[in-house]
Each structure stands twice: as structure tokens, then as C-alpha cells.
Amino acid sequence: MIPGLGRALVLLALLVATGGALVGVAAALRPSGAGREWTRRLAYAFSALMVLANLLMVYALLARDFSVSYVAQVGSRQVPDWVAVVSLWSSLEGSILFWGAILGVFVATATWSLGERHPEYAPWATAVWLTCGAFFAFLLAGPAHPFATVAIPPPDGPGPNPLLQNHLLMIVHPPFLYLGFVGMTIPFGLASAALLAGRLGADFLRPLRTWLLVPWVFLTVAIVLGGWWAYEVLGWGGYWAWDPVENASFLPWLTATAALHSALLVERKGVLKGWTITLVQASFLLTILGTFMTRSGVFNSVHSFTQSAIGPTLLAFLATSLVFSVALLATRVDRLAGEATLLGARSRDGMFLLNNLLLALFTFTVLLGTVFPLVVEAVRGVQMSVGRPYFDRMAAPLGVALLLLMGVGPALPWGTATAGQLRKALLPPLAGALAFTALGLALGVRNGWTLVTLAFGGYTAQVTLRELWLPLRQRMSRRGEGLARAIVETQRQSRRRTGAYVVHAGVVLIVIAIAVSSTMGYDTEVRLRAGESADIGPYRLTFLGADQVREPHRTSLVARVEVARDGRPVAVLGPRMNHYDTQREPIGTPAVRTGFGHDLYLSILNLDPATQTLGLHALVNPMVGWIWIATFVMALGGVLALLPSRRRPAATVPAAAPGAAQPETP
Amino acid sequence: MSASSDVAPAARGRNRWFAVAALAVAGAAFAVITAGGIGENLVYYWGPTDLHAAGDKAVGATIRLGGQVGEGSVAVGEGVSSLEFDVVDGKSKVHVKASGMPPQMFRDGIGVVVEGTMTRDGHFEGRKLMVSHDNEYRAPGDGTVDVKALMRSLEEGAEGEAK
């Protein structure tokens, strides 16, 4: 019953998306109100069908209906209900289904927010979105089919991958990642529509920027949540390994970040239109490439991906999208000419250009390191990967250069600066650079890259805080407003500018935290019998003993480790080995004591309850907690830039007193 | 980066050529650095047979050696610093010396991937040891190990489904 209903919903969604795309194209070619109306209706219908199909699957997972193939594959009677729900995105077919729901919600929201306002290119945009929708509905109808009927339902299923059951972060990380990945479809559709309609004036930028920023915020959070999950679950003590899966999420983030900045140059100067559109399209293509890389098994073997359910289909979609994007850009190249020439290097314009250049190089570097092994295997049949040192070595200089640019760019005026202006703008932040470096030296930082990061970070921090503070001070002194009111009013008047600098502040923090945590940590491996102690840094670790803990779906071996600092006991940590009933091998879960300056991270190497012997890996990871805080700041900045709602009429913004408000120049 | 609008056309043209040349040089330098960086940091995925076939190429290179722990070959030393075992794939074997403690599930016959390098005196120096968590993986009946299937199961266990 459920399999049949699910198949019907998926097929209907495929039909509606295909129909909607065709109607959209027709409405764009022969403009008519009715055509646009029908395009929108079909977009809403696609969204509703996809959401319904997902609700149906969630119901089947909760009901443990093993006649549904996907439930038979990942469901289990022994897992708690929250794990059953999370199973929706724990394996291939379910995650494509979930992708469909998110795409539906995005398409419906974007269609609704465009409304009747851009009749020339809105139907094109909806047609592009629904074409993507049709593709994913096709995947669900054929290659990645979650609603197949199981003729003889098994009495119970294996449950999802235990690594996913092991931490609550797995509830939030995948949805954020999908919101970031799938959301890139919307700016892709808008940019393609602008090209298709040949409307490349200023009006296409506003929705494009907004709809680029939305997935950007989700993607930012998702990338860090993924790192956080790895840190809390995998037990090797780090949060980022330049693994293909991680790179797949980082690549579109880099291009989207570049596009958010180049869009500003389009807006202010009318230049870099083609480049900005290229970046938007690249962001979308990289999300599809990322999905292909992580979902087709191509990294296990280049030759085996053709046997995966969706590998060839995804590759064909990627190729088609790429050809479509390039062809579209090529045929519209005449409309993409800049309306002005760029000014010289001694201006904010030049810094934006440099920023885009560095981000493009960064993307190229990471992409090359990720894809290179695939090319080598395809050509020479040798299996290999590119080691982490390559990525670290390339990322460090690019990262610190971008960090410095974030300070120099905003300090410079738009247009060419005189030597005097340059001195006045660029010299004072050296104080911040000096202060951060001195603080680092005092706290024992000796690594060259980390010191450079601190210096550049201090420089940029001073510029960023100054840019955030200046409009507040102006309001307070000229209008006599209190600080709180000045903050609210400034935010309301220049939400994008404020948001952007808050994001920058978060970036400064996260880059410093990454540099410090990856160069200043230390670790030790020890073997302890019950009652024995070992020292690491300021801590003395005493193994009290191991206990067995029984939970409904798993049995855990917990090592009780007393942590003493300066002779005083401060905590008892419990790193554990979890043995899931549905799985053969146990999985370790580290215990982390998060602190202001550093984390103490304990991970079990091996634990023998019979002899009460513990093999323990202990790490001191400085500043890791700040990475999570910095991400919150970045997300907050993104949300500030998106608020208040775009639908609020512009008239509610009070007219600025002469010279009181800064223009919106993030 | 084109020239400022207030310079003479000739100077502007010259500046543009300078900019193009500078970009070309920077691009070439970047390409060289990238290629070098990749070349120095390759990690090879080999089984014992591939490792022997590679000969001297394996000495000093970073290798992920995959296979099964040979039956009865595990020797755990005192303390935390010595662990020796053989990695086998049914056709040949490689002797591994690793430092650090074996992970919880480490035992005879289990699938492992050891990252490290080959030494001149013929043993493999392990730096990192990973044990297969995968429940699907079974050694094929004829005693040979599908090294690639093992690597696959390991990587998936570690992060494949994390997306």
C-alpha cells in the first residue's frame, strides 16, 4: 500500500515538474499572465508532492513497514524513533528523496517571492528549477528508487550506519548541507533565466544576491557542523581532513563566496557580470559534482561507479548542466560587456578583484587535489589519493592572503585613493596586527604561519570593528541615540553592510582558531590499568575503571577517567565503545571537555574489561571551541544581511540625515 | 586589473600588457607549485602484491597498505610502542612494524589498512592503523582478499555516509 502510494507521488512529481518546465518555457517565449500563473501552480504542486512523498517515507520508517524497500534497507525495530526519522537521509535513495523535498520547498518559496515582479525572466527561472526537479524525480522513479515493494518483508532490518546513530549532530548536519547544496539551484536558475531572457540590467541582481546568500548561510553552517560531528564522533581528534566528502562541500562555498563579492562590483560599477554569473553557475555545478563524488562511489574506484545506482545518471546531468551553462554564456557574451572600466589597484574595487582571484585559485587548488586521483586512476589504473600536506600547504598562504584582503579592502575607499588617503586608511590597523601578534607570542605561539595569521587577523579585526563602530558612533553623537537604539537603527538602514562585517568578524575568529588549533595542539598515547595515572599538559588523567552500560539499542563500554588539573579533580570523563545490537563491530565515541582556551579530548584505542586495561589517546586541542562560536557569528551575520524581510516596503526606512548614515557598502 | 582612467592611452595600453604578463607569470608559478605539491604528496593504495611489484618505488613513498592481518602473526610488545604483524592478501604478505596501540577490534584475520612506508630492509613502517568497521565485508572464499573492496568498506565506514 505505502510502496504504491509512494511510487504514485514520485511519478506525479516527475510529470508535474516536466509539465511545469515546459509551460514555463512557453510562458517565457509567448508572455501571458495565464502561462505564468500555471507555471507557478505547477511549481507549488511539485513542491507539495515531494513533501508528501517524504512524509510518507517518514511514516513508513516510524511504522517499520518493511514492505518498503528503503525501510527494509535502513530501518530497524531496535532503534529509537529519532534514529528512525534520521534514517531518511542515512542512505542513498532516502537522501535523494530528501533532496527532492528540500528542492520543492526552495522552488515554492522562490516562486512565491518572485511573484509577478519579474515577468520577463521569472518563468525562465521556474522552468530551470523544475527541470532540476524533474531530474531528481526521475532519479527517484528509476535509478534510486526508495519505494520499491519488498515481496516478502523481513521481520526486522539492519538499521542505519551506526556512525550516524552515534551523535545528535547527525540530525542537523545533513539537513543543513542539503539546504546549502539544493539551495544553489535557485541562484543557478535566476542567473540562467537572466541570460535566457537577455535581461542583465541591475534588476536581476537583487533576487540573485538574496538567493545566493540563503544557501551560503546554510552551507557555511553545514560545513562546520560536519567538522564538529567528525570531531565528536570519529575519535581521531581533528575536525577537518581534506577528505573528498569535505572538499565536496567546501568547493561550492568558495565559489559562492566569490560570487557574493563580485555581485557587489556588478551592482556598484556594472562590471564583472559574466564573471559573477559564471561563479553562480559554477557553485551549482560543484554541488552536483560533490553529490556525484560522494554518492556514486567513484572514489572507491573510477570503474565501479558505473555500477552504482545513480553514478552515470548524475554524471550525465552534470555534463548537460555544464554544456547548458557554457553555451548560454557564450551566446549571450555580447550582453555581458561591462558598463565601466575597473579602477586601479589602489582602491576597494581592486581588492574585490584580488579577492575573487584568490578564491578562484583556492577553488582550483582544492578541486585539482580532489579530482586528480580520479583522473590518474581512469588513465593509468593506479589507485591513490592526494595527501593532506598538499592541501595544508596550498590553503595556508591563500587563507592568510584572503584574511589580509578582508582588512585592506574595506579600509580603502571606492575609486582611486591618493597616497595620503592610503596612509590614513592602512596604517592605523597595524596596531591591531601588533596587538594580536604580541598576545600570541606571550601565549607561546612560535609557528610562523600562525603568527602571520594572528598579525593579519588583528589587522582585519581592527578594520572590521571600526567599520561596525563608526556608523554607531555617528548616530549616537549626532542624534543623541543610545547604543541599543543606534545598533537597531543602523542594522535596519544598512542591513547588508552590518551583516557583511559581522560575517567578516566571524571569519577572522574562525581562521585564527583553525591556525592555532592545528599548530598548537599536543597528544599522547598511554596504556593504563585501573588506578594508574598519566599526565598531559596541565592535566593528570586517572583511569578509575570500566563499566558496561546497557541501553535499548546498544551496549556500551565506558572508561571512567578522572581529570585533575593542578592537583584538583575537575571532572570524570567517559570515552566509550558503543556496540550496536544490529552491528558486528563496536564504534568508539570520544569524550571532549570543552574549555575557553582548549579542549581536553579523550579517545579509547582499546579497552579490555576483563583485565581493566585501557589504551587511551589523549589530546589537548587549543581554541577548537572558538570554531563553533565563530561559525555562529558568521551565520548571524548572514541572517542579519537577509533581515528584515525583503517584502517590507522601502518607505518604512527613515530618511537618513545628511552625512549621518554610511551608504550600503559591505 | 586595468589601468586608471586618468592616464594617457599609451600608458594605459602598456599597463594592461604589464598586468597580463604579471598574471601569466603568476599563473605559471602557481601551476608549478600546485603540480609540485600534488606530486610530493601522493598516497598510493596498494595491497601486498602491488607493494612487492612496486619494488624500490615503495621505499619512502606514502602508502595505504590494505589486506588482512595474517593468522598468528600478531606480536604485541610491552608498553605502547611496538606492534608487529603481517598483512596478507592470499598471494603474498608484508611484515608491518607499527608504533602505537592496536585499535579495539584488531585481531587475526580482520581487514586493515595501514598508512606508512616501505623501508630498505623489507618491512613496512606503519604510522596509522585502521580496522575495517564494515559488517558487509567478508573475505572471499578462495583466500584472496579484494583489497579495493576492503579500502572501499573502510573509507565508507569512516566518512562515506557522513554526507
Q: Are residue A296 and residue A322 in the same domain, yes or no?
A: yes
Select from A89, A90, A161, A169 the residue whose CB has the most chain B CBs within 10 Å, as the one to mutate to test that interface.
A161
> What pLDDT digit, counting tens, does each position of A362-404 carry?
999 999 998 888 888 888 877 888 888 899 988 999 999 999 9
Q: Are residue A580 and residue A630 in the same domain, yes or no?
A: no
Could you give the percent of chain A with pLDDT greater than 70?
93
Q: How many domains does chain A have?
A: 4
Higher pLDDT, B98 or A181: A181
Torsion angle in degrees (nearest 10) through CA of B74, B76, B82, B86: 0
Chain A CB within 8 Å of residue B74 CB: no
R_g (Cα) of chain B, nearest Å = 25
Chain B CB within 8 Å of residue A665 CB: no
- The pLDDT of residue B47 is 86
Q: Tell me which chain A residues have a C-beta less than 8 angstroms from the C-beta of B155.
A: 299-300
- The pLDDT of residue A533 is 93
CB-count burial class (<10 Å; 0-12, 13-18, 19+) for A288: buried
Q: How far is the C-alpha of B122 from the C-alpha of A557, rounded, in Å?
A: 39
Q: What is the mean pLDDT of residues A343-360?
A: 83
Closest residue in A to B104 (Cα) is A606
Per-residue pLDDT at A214 exceeds 70 = yes
Nearest alpha carbon to residue A140 among A184, A103, A185, A87: A103
Q: What is the mean pLDDT of residues A627-635?
A: 95
- The pLDDT of residue A521 is 92
Residue A310 in any domain: the answer is yes
3-state helix, strand, coil in chain A (%, to 5): 65, 10, 25
Q: How far is the C-alpha of A130 from the C-alpha of A117, rounded, in Å?
A: 19
- The kind and range of the H/E element at A527 are strand A522-529
Q: If pLDDT is split at 50, 70 and 90, which confidence band does A360 have? A: very high
Higher pLDDT, A8 or B108: A8
Q: Are residue A72 and residue A179 in the same domain, yes or no?
A: no
Q: Are residue A19 and residue A71 in the same domain, yes or no?
A: yes
Residue A654 in any domain: the answer is no
Q: Which three cell numbers stand for residue A235?
A: 575519535
Contacts of A516 (CB under 8 A, 6+ apart): A445, A450, A622, A623
Nearest alpha carbon to residue A51 among A131, A133, A110: A133
> What pLDDT digit, counting tens, does each position of A469-520 carry?
988 888 888 888 888 888 888 888 888 888 999 999 999 999 999 999 999 9
Q: Are residue A89 and residue A23 in the same domain, yes or no?
A: yes
A39 alpha carbon, distance to own chain's centre: 30
Q: Are residue A378 and residue A240 in the same domain, yes or no?
A: yes
Per-residue pLDDT at A233 exceeds 70 = yes
Q: Are residue A117 and residue A136 in the same domain, yes or no?
A: yes
- The pLDDT of residue B138 is 39
- The pLDDT of residue A458 is 96
Chain A CB within 8 Å of residue B37 CB: yes
Q: What DSSP string describes A450-511? A: HHHHHHHHHHHHHHHHHHHHHHHHHHHHHH---HHHHHHHHHHHSHHHHHHHHHHHHHHHHH
Per-residue pLDDT at A344 exceeds 70 = no
- The kind and range of the H/E element at B69 are strand B62-69
Torsion angle in degrees (nearest 10) through CA of A125, A129, A131, A132: 150
> What pLDDT digit, counting tens, does each position of A149-167 carry?
888 888 888 888 777 777 7
- The pLDDT of residue B81 is 64
Backbone angles phi, psi at A452, to 5 degrees: -60, -45
Could you give the percent of chain A with pLDDT greater than 90?
49
Q: How far is the C-alpha of A129 from the C-alpha of A131, rounded, in Å?
A: 5
Residue A397 in any domain: the answer is no
- Residue after which a domain boundary falls, among A120, A137, A165: A165
Q: How far is the C-alpha of B159 from the C-alpha of A294, rounded, in Å?
A: 10
Q: Are residue A145 and residue A180 in the same domain, yes or no?
A: no
Q: What is the mean pLDDT of residues A79-107?
A: 90
| B133 vs A295, A297, A585: nearest CB | A585
Q: The domain containing residue A241 runs over which residues?
A: 174-337+346-386
Q: What is the mean pLDDT of residues A301-326?
A: 80
Q: Are residue A504 and residue A527 in the same domain, yes or no?
A: no
Higher pLDDT, A287 or B92: A287
| A387 vs B33, B41, B133: nearest CB | B41
- Read off the pTM: 0.89
Q: Are residue A45 and residue A151 in the same domain, yes or no?
A: yes
Residue A394 in any domain: the answer is no
Residue A284 in any domain: the answer is yes
Q: What is the mean pLDDT of chain A?
A: 87
Residue A663 in any domain: the answer is no
Residue A11 in any domain: the answer is yes
Nearest alpha carbon to residue A232 among A601, A485, A641: A601
Q: Are residue A513 and residue A582 in the same domain, yes or no?
A: no
Q: How far is the C-alpha of B138 from the C-alpha of B68, rounded, in Å?
A: 11
Per-residue pLDDT at B1 exceeds 60 = no
> What pLDDT digit, counting tens, does each position of A165-186 carry?
777 787 888 899 999 999 999 9
Higher pLDDT, A408 or A91: A408
| Window A:275-294, CB contacts with B under 8 Å | 294
- Is the Cβ–Cβ distance between A110 and A133 less than 8 Å? no
Backbone angles phi, psi at A632, to 5 degrees: -60, -45
> What pLDDT digit, counting tens, does each position of A44-77 carry?
999 999 999 999 999 999 989 898 999 988 888 8
> What pLDDT digit, counting tens, does each position of A519-577 carry?
999 999 888 999 999 999 999 999 999 988 888 778 889 999 999 998 899 999 999 98
Q: What DSSP string describes A268-296? A: HHS--HHHHHHHHHHHHHHHHHHHHHHHS
Q: Tell me which chain A residues have a C-beta less than 8 angstroms from the C-beta of B3.
A: 344
Give the range among A328-337, A439-448, B92-101 with minimum mean pLDDT: A328-337
Instruction: Give, in degrees to the nearest 5, the angle at Cα A316 between A311 and A318.
Output: 95
Q: How far is the C-alpha of A10 from the C-alpha of A4, rounded, in Å?
A: 10
- The pLDDT of residue B137 is 37
CB contact under 8 A, B135 and A584: yes
- Is the Cβ–Cβ distance between A50 and A96 less than 8 Å? no
Residue A23 in any domain: the answer is yes
Q: Count of CB atoms within 10 A of residue B17's CB?
A: 10
Q: State the alpha helices, DSSP H only, in A578-644.
A: 624-642
Instruction: Give the CA count within 13 Å in the CB-facing half-sphere of A218.
Output: 20
- Min Cα separation A53/chain B (Å): 22
| Residue labelled with grid coordinates 542537523 | A172
Nearest alpha carbon to residue A331 among A192, A492, A151: A192
> B43-162 in CATH: which number?
2.40.50.140
- The pLDDT of residue A302 is 56
Q: Count how many pairs of residues, chain A against chain B, have C-beta atoms within 8 Å.
A: 132
Q: Tell me which chain B residues have a C-beta less than 8 angstroms from the C-beta of A181.
A: none
**DSSP assignment letter at B2:** P
Q: What is the mean pLDDT of residues B27-43?
A: 82
Q: If pLDDT is split at 50, 70 and 90, which confidence band does B161 have? A: very low
Q: In what order do the strands lie in the sheet with A591-594?
A: A522-529, A613-622, A598-608, A591-594
- Min Cα separation A188/chain B (Å): 22
Q: If pLDDT is split at 50, 70 and 90, which confidence band does A425 have? A: confident
Q: Are residue A158 and residue A302 in the same domain, yes or no?
A: no
Chain B CB within 8 Å of residue A372 CB: yes
- The pLDDT of residue B7 is 47
Q: If pLDDT is split at 50, 70 and 90, which confidence band does B5 have? A: very low
Q: Which three cell numbers stand for residue A105?
A: 520547498
